Chains A and B, each alone.
Chain A
Amino acid sequence: MNPELGDLEELYQEVILDHSRRPRNFGELADAAVRVHGDNPACGDEIHLGVKFDGDGGLQEIKFTGHGCAISQASASLMTTKLKGKSRDEVEEMLRAFHDLVTTETNNDAPKKLGDLLVMRGVRKFPQRVKCAMLPWRAVGQALRQSEGEATVSTEEPEFA
């Protein structure tokens, strides 16, 4: 660790830079049940999320396209890897835990279930970048809410509870 970089190095961990350069699950999901477009008008970042559900409403397939900063791209990439195959309840729980991770001092239980997503915790020290990290999560939250069709979410809209 380069001591000069400090918080920066915690924000931009190698894993994050790697995911932003080579995002996983990047591409169109041809037979998606829901497509959600997420905008961050403050910086022009965009993410287009495609989701397919299994018989019980769990996340069977999830892919994204779009462009944006390293944080929003890595967050989307990490999120899709983590959420694929998860049940609806698990996704909702993860969403809340991730939101806490990037906005508050970590509580003690949240971290474990987040697993790989813990690399995103450096965002907490950069309040202006929380929107970037949350953009793909807002999109997936919206996808759960509607189960089919298209929707748009924006970081300028009020946060979910």
Chain B
Amino acid sequence: MGARPVEGLIVDHKSCGCRSSRLRIKWREPGLGADYLMHKVATSRVDWSALRADFPILRERVNGHPLIYFDNAATSQKPRAVLDVVRSYYEHENANVHRGLHALSARATEHYEKSRQRVADFIGAASADEIVFTRGTTESINLVAQAWGGKFLRAGDVILLTEMEHHSNLVPWQLLSERIGAQLRFVPVRDDGTLALEKLSSLLTPEVKMLAFTHVSNSLGTINPVVDLCQKARAVGAVTLVDAAQSIGHMPLNVQELGCDFLAFSGHKMCAPTGIGVLYGRSEIVESVPPWHGGGEMIVSVTLEKSSFKKPPHRFEAGTPNIAGAIGLAAAIDYIEGIGRAEIFQHDVDLAGYALKRMAELPGLRVLGPERDRGGVISFVMDAAHPHDLTTFADQYGLALRGGHHCNQPLMRRFGVPGTSRASFYFYNTREEIDRMIEILEKTARFFK
């Protein structure tokens, strides 16, 4: 896929950086936030309802009703393929990594390091050495803020974030800036839930040393133009960090085409177990980052006075890592690639489009975020019922929504709501489930009216 701008039209893949030749791509006016591209693929190839059988939990009944799981932005469910791999690891390979000279330790180490390579391939990293295993997005971002930020940022430097960041891409920077006297700046969010990119040129000044932003908003579903943002940040010499928590399992994504320096994500939102996540760090940058946590595994030699440290990624993995988690993550990647990330994205977009259309039929219901070109995350408020009451009510019908501020308190304030209800989809969700949600929302409105 050509990744060069041609005659003023941006033809690279602005949001996902994928290079799959299967995709037919359309683009729109560059520079205004809507300049990312939509995949057009035939999703009919995938038997979506058959995939549901891979997820044992989808057979659960909740409060006497079949479970409708629409809280995927919080965490996804796990397919049997992942559960089996984790179990098999504990039954046949369990040992500590990088320590034992015995057979099991060798097996565990090999499987763990193979998983790292699997992650590298999945996100298009140049090398497995650029992949640090962490507990999740939050830990990945804290690592960058504390280890990279602690070394390279000074009083007066600016960290540029956006108003739509999850608390986990806000609080670590607040902690850092309080410690070293750096300043935080924010790209505002427009009323339609997109970033006010027209403000970028005045915000992205040479004092900006870090631009950290989310790929897909966990409240609004907005998809941000990553390629564009990273390019502009690089032009002023800023390092970039992309929070890919909401995009990683939902669309094709390639770090080299995105052009970011760091990228953080959690396994548990993409079919892997909880407690495992990734920090991608471009090798030129990550090599100069000092250790964060100290302990076993991350050292070369230790005396009572001082230690020398391994190269990345092991420099950043002190102590016994989450071996089963890493192996489970690799299995989740296999599973997701078996379906196809472009197909998953198209399915998300279809479901979101269908849900938005059906929700527009409900009087007194307002959806936050962009009207189109968004991921499968829909936040809404209903005149008749507070999000808390709505969520409790829906739960009695087996419908799992999330109600509250979604770790986006500043964004909720920006939109003048205390919180919202949120429905977020994944590939195992169906239009029938959305129809059922609409019925339940109608009941809710009648009940609280």
Contacts of B417-449 to chain A: CB distance below 8 A: 417-419, 447-448
Bound-complex Cα distance A12 to B412 (A): 26
Q: Does A151 contact B (CB under 8 A)?
A: no
Contact, CB under 8 Å: B388 / A69: yes
Contact, CB under 8 Å: B388 / A8: no
Contact, CB under 8 Å: A44 / B412: yes
Contacts of B106-163 to chain A: CB distance below 8 A: none
Contact, CB under 8 Å: A70 / B448: yes
Contact, CB under 8 Å: B386 / A69: yes
Residue in A closest to B391 when the chains form the complex, CB atoms: A128
Instruction: Digitize A127-150: 1 where CB-to-B-CB distance is under 8 Å, 0 elsewhere.
Output: 011001000000000000000000
Residue in B closest to A73 when the chains form the complex, CB atoms: B386
Contact, CB under 8 Å: B447 / A12: yes
A43 and B387 contact, Cβ closer than 8 Å, known pairs A17-B448, A67-B418, A68-B418: yes
Closest CB of chain B to A156's CB: distance in Å? Answer: 12
Residue in A closest to B413 when the chains form the complex, CB atoms: A44
Q: Does A94 contact B (CB under 8 A)?
A: no
Q: Which of A8, A42, A71 contacts B404 (CB 8 A)?
A: A42
Which size class do B's interface residues fall under?
10 to 19
In the bound complex, residues from chain B placing their C-beta under 8 Å from that of A115 are: none
Q: Does A1 contact B (CB under 8 A)?
A: no
Instruction: Digitize B260-292: 1 where CB-to-A-CB distance is under 8 Å, 0 elsewhere.
Output: 000000000000000000000000000000000
Bound-complex Cα distance A69 to B447 (A): 14
A41 and B409 contact, Cβ closer than 8 Å, known pairs A6-B396, A17-B448, A129-B392: yes
Residue in B closest to A46 when the chains form the complex, CB atoms: B418
A8 and B396 contact, Cβ closer than 8 Å, known pairs A43-B404, A43-B419: yes
Q: Does A30 contact B (CB under 8 A)?
A: no
Residues of chain A at interface, number, CB under 8 A: 22
Q: Does B60 contact A (CB under 8 A)?
A: no
Contact, CB under 8 Å: B418 / A45: yes
Q: Which of A6, A46, A129 contacts B388 (CB 8 A)?
A: A129
Q: Does B393 contact A (CB under 8 A)?
A: yes
Contact count A vs B, C-beta below 8 Å: 53
Bound-complex Cα distance A69 to B385 (A): 8
Closest CB of chain B to A56's CB: distance in Å? Answer: 38
Contact, CB under 8 Å: B392 / A44: no
Q: Does A7 contact B (CB under 8 A)?
A: yes
Residue in A closest to B388 when the chains form the complex, CB atoms: A69
Bound-complex Cα distance A44 to B448 (A): 20
In the bound complex, residues from chain A placing their C-beta under 8 Å from that of B198 are: none
A132 and B396 contact, Cβ closer than 8 Å, known pairs A42-B404, A44-B418: no
Residue in A closest to B417 when the chains form the complex, CB atoms: A44
Q: Which of A43, A68, A126 contacts B405 (CB 8 A)?
A: A43
Q: Does B17 contact A (CB under 8 A)?
A: no
Residue in B closest to A17 when the chains form the complex, CB atoms: B448
Closest CB of chain A to B167's CB: distance in Å? Answer: 11
Q: Does B389 contact A (CB under 8 A)?
A: yes
In the bound complex, residues from chain A placing their C-beta under 8 Å from that of B448 are: 12, 17, 70
| 6 additional A-B residue pairs with CB within 8 Å, beyond A43-B405, A44-B412, A68-B386 | A44-B419, A69-B388, A126-B392, A129-B388, A129-B392, A132-B388
22 A-B residue pairings within 8 Å (CB atoms): A5-B447, A6-B396, A8-B396, A8-B447, A12-B389, A43-B387, A43-B388, A43-B418, A44-B417, A44-B418, A45-B388, A45-B418, A46-B418, A69-B387, A69-B389, A70-B386, A70-B448, A71-B389, A128-B392, A129-B388, A129-B392, A132-B388
